[in-house]
């Protein structure tokens, strides 16, 4: 009786195969479960084998993130309207994080990884097409980036907490309940927001933020 091979037989290792296996673990079992021991077991190889193909865990995570983001950016390529392109680009990143919360963690952790450059290029090109003057392009593009990366980190964090055993709305309900126990005199706004929190739509919220920034850009043109 052959043991169940978790991977298709034993082809030679490669960075690509390693990244794919890592993504599978990250997607199905979450970011905390990705260890080199777990990963090498999936690949049915020795615990140190990975280091021949990948420098360290940071590089592996960056490569996995780039894999996901590259796909997103490829889908955005052709959109004539720069504003529309920025929206679909941003929502594409959002949906990728929704599907792979660990991508959000990773994006917000290292601003100079390749995946972030892909996003910056995508945003920057549209900013230029929008007619933002040269000396403002850097600030405008990075502001949009910061907002996207900020959301990335937050959304990934929610997913990390919620996914364990409760649904997202249950979890938000628990958060809102905690907010309502704060002193209403000291935290009036938080109290008000607690009522909306459990049933709000993250995607709408994100798009509203993008539109806010786009409005700021247009008002300065």
Compare residues 20 and 79 and give the one whose CB is closer to a second copy: 79
Q: Where does the chain have alpha helices with state H? A: 15-29, 36-42, 57-76, 82-99, 101-109, 114-129, 134-162, 168-180, 188-196, 202-220
139 binds, among a second copy, DNA, none (CB under 5 to 8 A by kind): a second copy
Residue 177: how many other CB atoms lie within 10 Å: 12
End-to-end Cα, the chain, rounded Å: 71
In this chain, which stretch among 6-14, 17-25, 39-47, 135-143 interacts with a second copy, using CB under 8 A? 135-143
Among 7, 45, 83, 137, binds a second copy (CB under 8 A): 137
Site for a second copy in 88-127 (CB under 8 A): 108-112, 117, 120-121, 124-125, 127
**Contact between 50 and 18 (Cβ < 8 Å):** yes
Compare residues 11 and 186 and give the one whose CB is closer to a second copy: 186
- String marking each residue 20-59 x if it binds DNA according to CB under 7 A: --------------xxxxx-x---xxxxxx-xxx--xxx-
In this chain, which stretch among 17-25, 37-45, 85-93, 155-163 interacts with a second copy, using CB under 8 A? 155-163
220 binds, among DNA, a second copy, none (CB under 5 to 8 A by kind): a second copy
Lookup result for tokens 């993504």: 23
Query: Is the dihedral angle over the CA atoms 21, 112, 147, 124 positive or is it negative?
Result: negative
Among 13, 49, 91, 143, binds a second copy (CB under 8 A): 143
What value, to the nearest 5°, has the Cα angle with vertex 135 and ends 143 and 66? 45
The string of DSSP codes covering 108-152 is HH-TTSHHHHHHHHHHHHHHHHTT--HHHHHHHHHHHHHHHHHHH
192 binds, among DNA, a second copy, none (CB under 5 to 8 A by kind): a second copy
User: Token pair of 178, please?
Assistant: 């905690």
218 binds, among a second copy, DNA, none (CB under 5 to 8 A by kind): a second copy
Which residue ranges make up the site for a second copy (CB under 8 A)? 108-112, 117, 120-121, 124-125, 127-128, 136-143, 145-154, 157-158, 161, 175, 179, 182, 186-190, 192-193, 196, 200, 204-205, 208-209, 211-220
């Amino acid at each position: 009786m052959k043991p169940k091979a978790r991977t298709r037989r034993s082809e030679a290792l490669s960075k690509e195969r390693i990244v794919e296996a890592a993504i599978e673990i990250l997607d199905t079992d979450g970011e905390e479960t990705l260890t080199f021991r777990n990963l090498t077991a999936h690949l049915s190889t020795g615990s140190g084998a990975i280091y021949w193909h990948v420098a360290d865990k940071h590089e592996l995570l960056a490569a996995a993130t780039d894999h996901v983001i590259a796909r997103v950016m490829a889908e955005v390529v052709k959109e004539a309207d720069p504003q529309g392109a920025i929206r679909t680009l941003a929502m594409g990143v959002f949906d990728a994080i929704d599907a792979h919360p660990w991508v959000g963690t990773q994006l917000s952790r290292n601003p100079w990884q390749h995946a972030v450059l892909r996003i910056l290029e995508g945003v920057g090109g549209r900013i230029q097409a929008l007619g933002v003057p040269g000396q403002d392009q850097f600030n405008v593009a990075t502001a949009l980036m910061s907002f996207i990366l900020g959301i990335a980190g937050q959304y990934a964090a929610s997913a990390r907490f919620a996914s364990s055993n409760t649904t997202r709305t249950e979890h938000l309900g628990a958060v809102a309940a905690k907010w309502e126990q704060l002193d209403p005199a000291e935290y009036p706004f938080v109290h008000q927001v607690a009522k909306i929190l459990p049933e709000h739509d993250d995607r709408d919220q994100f798009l509203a933020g993008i539109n806010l920034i786009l409005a700021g850009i247009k008002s300065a043109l």
